[in-house]
Structure formats: structure tokens, C-alpha cells
Structure 1
Amino acid sequence: MINCIIVDDEPLATALLENHISKIDHLKLVAKAETAMAAYKILQNHPVDLMFLDIEMPHLNGIDFLKSLPQKPKTIFTTAYRDFAIEGFELEAVDYLLKPVTFERFFKAVERVLRNNTDSLENFILIRAEGMHRKLILSQIIYIESQGNDVKIVLKTHESFISKSKITDLEAVLASRGFIRIHRSFIINPEFVTAFNNNEVHLGSYQIPVGRSYKHEFDTFVSNVSKNKLL
């Protein structure tokens, strides 16, 4: 669970963010503040992992407030102005969202936090499929197939989900977790490999082609299998 705080002096903006937060199970809103000074007091007394921080606020703006903090929580800036984007990223903000913040854009920003939080997202990913945000356990994913602007994710249970995602984005997340891209349209979980040759890989009853452009990745997989004496 990631504890969140909203720091914003606009009631409508705060209400919108609060609504967005309520839709994601891994986020818990622990406090709201209308000024930087009020937020400072809260941060002294409550553990906060993620701060949604407005920039244009009375007395002390969000940029200067974040600079003043000796221990900075992960921060996502929310603002109606583009002018502060560079300065925001120089402070290593997770993201910079323009108001009014849509849920789609909000979710992408939050996913970065979840992805980098090993306690929260070490063993699963979040995708949007069939109008829901779904938690998929990595060990249950057999393979992922690109289908135009979507991806099809096939699970051990033989369930499958279609998600509005790019296979390159999923590859960036899953490569460090043992998944291998062996074709421009396919990422596989090597734990499910039951047979292979130079042209295809079998994942139980599923047959996945090996793309010429991904021969290096495939050869690395074969080499690792050989080293582990699984042949």
C-alpha cells in the first residue's frame, strides 16, 4: 500500500485527484493540504510515500516547497501551467501532470511509482483491460502478443486479456523480470518453455515463432538453459 497526500488549494482539483486515487487499490489517501505549510506539518507526523503537489499555491509554491524538504517523498506535480516542467523534472519528480488531470494520464504516472516500488510491484503488473485495471501475477503469464495497438496477455489458466498497451512498453518492464522478447510480436515467460528449435518455441500447447531480428535474445536463452543443464 502506498500512502498518498494531495497538496492543492483548488477544491475541484483535489476532488478529482481524490476520485482517481480511490480507483487504484494500491493507493491510500492519508491526508490533504491546501498550503505547503500545512503539508509540511502533515509530513512530519505521517508516513507519506507519494505526494501529488500543486505548483501555484499561496505563500510558498510547490517547487520551492519540495526543494525545502530534507526528505522528499516521491512527487507527482499537478499544475495548470507548462512553464515549470523542466524545473520539476530537475527535482526528480516522478511526473508532471497538467490540469485537468485525466484518469488515463494519472494512471500512467502512478504506474511508474508502482513499477519502481519493489515491495508493491515485484511480482505483478497492472494493466487496463475490459474497462478494469487488472493485477496480473507475473508467474501466471505465459506469453504476450502484439495485436496492432493492443496486446493480448495469455495466462496459465488459459484466460487472456486484451489491453491498450504497446509491446515495447511491456518489454521495458518485463525484461528485468526474466521475460524474453523472441519476435516483434511476442514476449514469452521462459518458465513455461517445454520445447524449442531454431524457428519456434513451445509453451505447452502454444507455439511461438522466433523472429530473425531477435535471434540474439533467443541464443542467450538457449545458452542459459544449457548452462543450467536443463537439456
Structure 2
Amino acid sequence: MNSPKIRCIITDDEPFAAKGLEGYVAKIPFLELVARCEDALQLNAVLKQQSVDLLFLDIEMPHVSGIAFLKGLPNPPKVIFTTAYDQYAIEGYELDVLDYLLKPISFDRFLKSANKAYDYFNSQQKNEAISYCFIKVDQKLEKVFFNEIQMVEALGNYVAVYTGGRKLLTHVTLKNMQENLPVSMFIQPHKSFLVNMQFITAIEGNTLHIGALQAPVSKYSKDEILEKIVNNTLIRRQQ
């Protein structure tokens, strides 16, 4: 198989459930288990050290629930919730999770979920290989290259796509736009903005300057967003 393996983490405070999921992962060739965590605190520590694609995340856990943890993560990996409770399903899908597995989880249901993850990441790979998209503006489809897009801003039921001196208004959601942009180029510093990192000219407080444009940075994600932007290129004064 040419596609790289999907790096995943299992987080569940129930040892028996976690062990079962670990056995399921081992049966699927395109999944690679990076770590198994007992709670969100362990998971948070691992995510500081490891780059992963997918979380199998329990909801009801001590200290911090899976939902609360996910809400606090800037640019989180994709998530498949694993839980014994079905009342969280709507909230889970609002958080853009890939799937929602109800315990006890059978292998055939787990495999279906894993295949959904495979299809998602495979489509993301194709997006990385494509250098442009078409945006419907009024009655016309305009070809826009990803490396020309400076910023995308959510405006109600529309998004504004800023390319150089142009502002293209199109009737799609920010989520839909994000799914069609290469993840290696774009970050989401705020729930209403996507920013092309190569166009960031300055960082001032909680604001990104993108040439003449500006985008806010959520206070909850500031540290991780700034770390991703700076990416060890910060020149520090020698003491």
C-alpha cells in the first residue's frame, strides 16, 4: 500500500476497553498505534511529544472529559469517540469527529470506522497533491491556486477568500473550505479564520498580520499556534 499508515492513540480509562481497541488496531494494516493513554492528562503529554493523525477518544474520563479536552485543542488530530453513552452523539458531530463508536464495540463496527478514517486521510493526501481549487463566485467558477490564498474568513453562510488584492465571496462553510485546503499550508488560529502561514508577516499580541490583513488568535490556542508558525525560527538574544 502506498499510503502511509495512520498514526493513532487510544485514550480510555477502562483497561479492558483500551486493550480491546489495541487488539483491533493491531488487526488493521493501515493503522499504527503510537500510544495508549489512561486519561486526557496522559494524552496531552503525549501530544506534546508525538505527531499523530487520529485519536480513539473516550468521553467519560476522570479529570477532563474527552469532549472538554477536544474543545481545548487547537488544530487537533481527527477524532473517533468511543463511549458507552449515546447522549453525546450530537455534540460529537458538532466537533467534527470522524465517527462515534458505542461500547461494547464489535470489530466489524470498528473496521467500518477505521475505513472511514482511511478514506478521509486518503482524500487529504490528494488535496496536498493538487495545487488549486475552483471557487464559485456569483455564477462563475474561479480557479484559485492555494499558494495565492492569504486568508479565509467566515461570514455567516459565506466565506471570504483573500488572494492578493481580491476578496472572493462564496457560499460555503469554513469547514468545507478547510477540508479542501492542504493542511501543511493553512492553520486555524480562530474559529472564523484560516490563514496561509507563508503570508504571515508579523505576530502582535493576539493578532496575526497577513500583509494588510489581520486575523485574531484564540487565547486557548495561542501557544500552540505560535509554536507552529515560528517553528524554531525565532532568533533569541544571547545572554
Query: TM-score w.r.t. structure 2 length?
Result: 0.49
* CA apart distance, 1:44: 1.0
Identity percentage over the alignment? 51
Counterpart of 1:51? 55
1:27 counterpart = 2:8: no
Aligned residues: 122
1:101 alignment partner, SS class:
coil
Cα displacement string for residues 193-221 of structure 1 (whole angstroms, at most 9, x for unaligned residues): xxxxxxxxxxxxxxxxxxxxxxxxxxxxx
* CA apart distance, 1:120: 9.1
2:90 alignment partner, SS class:
helix
1:100 counterpart = 2:104: yes
Higher helix share: 1
Query: Structure 1 runs of 4+ off > 2 angstroms?
Result: 118-122
* CA apart distance, 1:119: 7.5
* CA apart distance, 1:121: 8.4
CA contact (8 A) 1:114 1:120 kept: no
RMSD over aligned Cα atoms: 1.5
* CA apart distance, 1:117: 1.6
- Aligned ranges 1:1-150 → 2 under 5 Å: 1-118=5-122
- Mark the runs of 5 or more structure 1 residues left unpaired by the alignment: 123-231
- Give, in whole Å, the separation in 2 of the partners of 1:30 and 1:119: 22
Select the structure with the greater relative contact order (CA < 8 A; seq sep ≥ 6).
Answer: 2
Counterpart of 2:167? none
Q: What is the identity, as a one-letter code, of the residue corresponding to 1:81? A: Y
Q: What is the identity, as a one-letter code, of the residue corresponding to 2:23? A: N
* CA apart distance, 1:118: 2.2
- Give, in whole Å, the separation in 1 of the partners of 2:8 and 2:119: 16
- Mark the runs of 5 or more structure 2 residues left unpaired by the alignment: 127-239
Bigger radius of gyration: 1
Counterpart of 1:131? none
* CA apart distance, 1:37: 1.0
- Give, in whole Å, the separation in 1 of the partners of 2:111 and 2:79: 14
